[in-house]
Structure 1
Amino acid sequence: MTGTTRTGLRARWAAWSAASVVALGVVWLLVGWIVFQHPRTEQPARSDALLVLGPPDRTRMAEALRLMDAGLAPVLVVATPGTGDLGDDPGEAHYTRAEQTCAADPGYEVICFRPDPSTTQGEAVRLRELGEQRGWEHVSVLTYRQHVARSRLLLTRCYAGELDVLAFDYPSVPRGLLREFAYQSGGFVKAWLTPGCDQQLPWRPKSLD
């Protein structure tokens, strides 16, 4: 094989590889647009409780309180995961807002908890516990649009009752749309590697006491 032939083969291989990467990227974007940007959601309906997946930032708490004021459920459950999560305020502002909501007397029961682990899976485990303790048969869940598909997957692994997943939209996606697609894609990979309700990756076990 001559040097010219080898060079031509390398060029064709490089072109084919680049085309394959571009094609895979386009497919990923299309799937992300369907799964993350246009997920299946339910309309608000009377349920036993409304679970607000954390962090309890201003945007999602405003929507949660609007739904509760409309009579969606008799119990509001608010997850307060660790700081540095997605939201419109940094750090302890999430906890301050959650504490204010829990300390108030809005005319319905409010439960605040810190998930363990501080992830959507930890929130799902806590929903299972609360559902079993209180006999909840129908729960509404509130989260932001790009998180709907993954949260539904994790929650239905733990909670056997009827589940309505309600979506809200931030004025602008905090991470940016492409970064959000990448983040949620990584979350799905982790979910597929840990198929049980509370199964954890071996190098990141739960921190239950």
Structure 2
Amino acid sequence: MTATRQFRPGFVVASSAVLLLAAGVVAGLPLYVFPVSDDIDHVDVVVVLGPIDQERLWTAEWLIDHGRADALVLSVPPDGSSVTVDGRDYCASTKLCFIASPSTTRGEVSAVEGIARREGWTDIAYVTGTAHVSRARWIAMSCSTRSVAVVEARENRNPAEWLWSYVYQTAGFLKAAVVGCLDD
């Protein structure tokens, strides 16, 4: 007599959910955890995408200090508050700060496109956090007429923050695909 093994529907659903989650995590690794960061020789301007933090600013300043960019542009919060890191007000210096409308990556790229047209910039590097690099690149390359590079400012995140990044960035990709670019 042979015994047949029956699977319970709950086990099948739970196993499928775990496999789907694992597949999503693996698929997201090259997009969110280990994105391609462009290596730039020289650009006209480096733009720090929001939210601005110490790592993003340091990465942008390194590019300028090493002759890889001529100017620094910062995307500031919608309330217009200045960017202060380590007691230094970055918008009070000679750097250009702007408020994106809407306050999204798409809005930032659109605003930078207008500034670049006014300033005569043709080569732009965007600096953003690790999880945002791939989506920022996709939006910038889709919505800009300029030569675009995206540089990673390495982020240290805990597992809960990585999970949130996966969800947030995936939703952002879907939104960008549906909404498209802003008209200038």
Report the TM-score range of the alignment, normalised by the length of the smaller protein.
0.7 to 0.9
- 1:127–1:158 CA contact under 8 A, matched in 2: no
CA positional deviation for 1:174: 9.7
Amino acid at match of 2:74: V
Residues 48 and 75 of structure 2 are in contact (CA less than 8 Å); yes or no, is this contact kept in structure 1? Answer: yes
Higher strand share: 2
Name the counterpart of 1:74.
Answer: 70
Normalization by structure 2: what TM-score? 0.83
**Whole-Å separation in 2 of the counterparts to 1:182 and 1:21:** 16
TM-score (norm 1): 0.74
TM-aligned CA deviation for residue 169 of structure 1: 1.1
Q: How far apart are 1:175 and its partner, in Å?
A: 6.2
> Does the alignment pair 1:160 with 2:156?
no
Distance in 2, matches of 1:147 and 1:99, equals 25
**2:175 match:** 190
Is the Cα contact below 8 Å between 2:110 and 2:143 reproduced in 1? yes
Pair 1:49 & 2:33 matched: no
Q: Secondary structure at the match of 1:71?
A: coil
Residue 12 of structure 1 and its aligned partner are, at CA, apart by 3.8
Match of 2:154 in 1: 169
Which of 21, 24, 28 is equivalent to 1:32? 28
Q: Shift in Å at residue 193 of structure 1?
A: 1.9
Flag the 1:171–1:18 CA change in 2: closer, same or farther, 3 A: closer
**% same residue:** 30
Aligned structure 1 segments of 4 or more residues deviating by more than 6 angstroms = none
| CA distance, structure 2, for counterparts of residue 124 and residue 114 of structure 1 | 11
Which position in structure 2 is the counterpart of 1:207? Answer: none
1:18-68 CA-partner distances (Å, limit 9, x unpaired)? 222222111110111121111122113201111110122222212212221
How far did 1:149 drift? 0.6
Q: Structure 2: which 5+ residue stretches go unaligned?
A: 1-5
Q: CA deviation at 1:171?
A: 3.8
More deviation in 181-190 or 164-173? 164-173
| 1:122-169 alpha-carbon deviations (Å, 9 max, x no partner) | 101112212222332211111111100111111112212211111011
- The match for 1:103 among 83, 92, 101 is 92
- Pick the aligned partner of 1:129 from 100, 109, 114: 114
Unaligned runs of 5+ in 1: 1-7, 84-91, 200-209
Instruction: State how many pairs are aligned.
Output: 176
Alignment root-mean-square deviation, CA: 2.5
The 1:42/1:130 distance shift into structure 2, 3 A limit, reads: same
CA contact (8 A) 2:83 2:91 kept: no
What is the letter of the counterpart of residue 197 of structure 1? Answer: C
Q: Distance in 2 between matches of 1:171 and 1:101?
A: 23
Distance 1:122 1:99, change over 3 A: farther
